[in-house]
Chain A
């Protein structure tokens, strides 16, 4: 089955630790995205990538880093510099950044203790 997988579903980390969230897709999509959702807010874009080895900052990139070494994979690292990392994180992909629908993964809920 084609789709996007994110792991783990729930993640707990101590304050000050870096943590990496996994996102893998087998849809052969060029573009991949990371969003963050907080209660009462819409999806906010953290980073996106239109092609392997290239990525762009979204509106809330501070405290996060990404890599795109393979077309299928777009891991997100939440660093200790992110002041409020507890949130729900969604990964998405599509074939054309502007015109085509996005396909979403199931999300990872990160709680920093």
Chain B
């Protein structure tokens, strides 16, 4: 079993604040790092898939970076909005998907 860790476990921020989370993973046999957003009562949806060391991806106010050598990825949300409230999951793929436990974000209006 491959250990993917996410921190913090939960986070409460005020609307308009910027925030970031961390995903740590073993760097050996690395293929790709995925980020998903999972809103309550919905299915998880993909945000980013990153494969190369130094990759940076951006979608609107959300961006992510990848460091495969040291085994971590950061997810950033700029100017958090209440609709950003969700659980953010990361997953590392080698020969299968290994998910972290997620970071639960609550944005307070």
Which among A43, A59, A100, A103 is the interface contact of B89 at CB below 8 angstroms? A43
B22 at the interface (CB under 8 A from A): no
In the complex, what's the smallest C-beta–C-beta distance from B38 to chain A, in angstroms? 8
Identify the stretch in A22-30, A73-81, A104-112 within 8 Å (CB) of chain B at 4 or more residues: A104-112
Tell me the number of A-to-B contacts counted with CB atoms below 8 Å.
Answer: 60
In the complex, what's the smallest C-beta–C-beta distance from A65 to chain B, in angstroms? 18
| Contact partners of B51 in chain A: CB under 8 A | 99
Type the 1/0 row for A41-75, where 1 means its CB is closer than 8 Å to any CB of B.
11111001000000010110000000000000000
In the complex the two chains form, what is the Cα distance from A56 to B36 in whole Å? 23
Whether A33 and B97, one on each chain, are in contact in the complex, defined by CB atoms closer than 8 angstroms, is: yes
In the complex the two chains form, what is the Cα distance from A104 to B43 in whole Å? 6
Q: Which residues of B contact A (CB under 8 A)?
A: 1, 4, 6, 31-32, 34, 36, 42-46, 49, 51, 89, 91, 93-102
